Amino acid sequence: MTENCEVGMTQNSDLDFILKVALNGAEFKQSERRLFLGELRERVLKVLDIAQARSDFVYPEFLQAINDPRANNLLIHYCISVKQAAKYEKPARERGLEVSYVSDTAFKGPVGLVVSSDDAVDVETITIQA
């Protein structure tokens, strides 16, 4: 019989963890993903809160983020209507970004729109002041 050196760990739980990661991939920073519509903070170029996304005003800083060569994705919170999101969705699609409407009851916070990269980016300020 093989002894397990980790206190509180069993061979079965180790095996379960390995299988879970192998089948589903590791899940890191879930609380961070809940804030940014499923995206990691390190990949976020810009965000708009729900009120900003619903506003008739078009934020030029957000359009600049859509046109950033590092941008790959536009994530839209399900509570933002297609009509409200169109002012950002259209330029994102024209630029070839993947556009996704996302809904998850685990999402926390006021974020309504996210422009993100497939890679980590060094953007210090991701919010836009109203």
Residue pLDDT, tens place only, 58-114:
999 999 999 999 999 999 999 999 999 999 999 999 999 999 999 988 888 899 999
Beta strand segments in the chain, E: 44-49, 73-77, 98-102, 111-116
* Angstrom distances, CA of residue 109 to CA of 85, 97, 105: 18, 24, 11
Dist. CA 50–CA 9, nearest whole Å = 43
CATH code, 29-116:
3.30.1330.30
Pairing of strands 111-116, 44-49: antiparallel
The confidence score (pLDDT) of residue 16 equals 65
pLDDT of residue 9 exceeding 50, the answer is: no
Q: With cut-offs at 50, 70 and 90, classify the pLDDT of residue 13.
A: low
Dist. CA 89–CA 83, nearest whole Å = 10
Pairing of strands 73-77, 111-116: antiparallel
Dist. CA 113–CA 78, nearest whole Å = 10
The confidence score (pLDDT) of residue 4 equals 36
Domain ranges (residues) in the chain: 29-116
Residue that wins the pLDDT comparison between 34 and 68: 68
The confidence score (pLDDT) of residue 3 equals 39
Given a contact cutoff of 8 angstroms between Cβ atoms, the answer to whether 34 and 109 are in contact is yes
pLDDT of residue 19 exceeding 80, the answer is: no
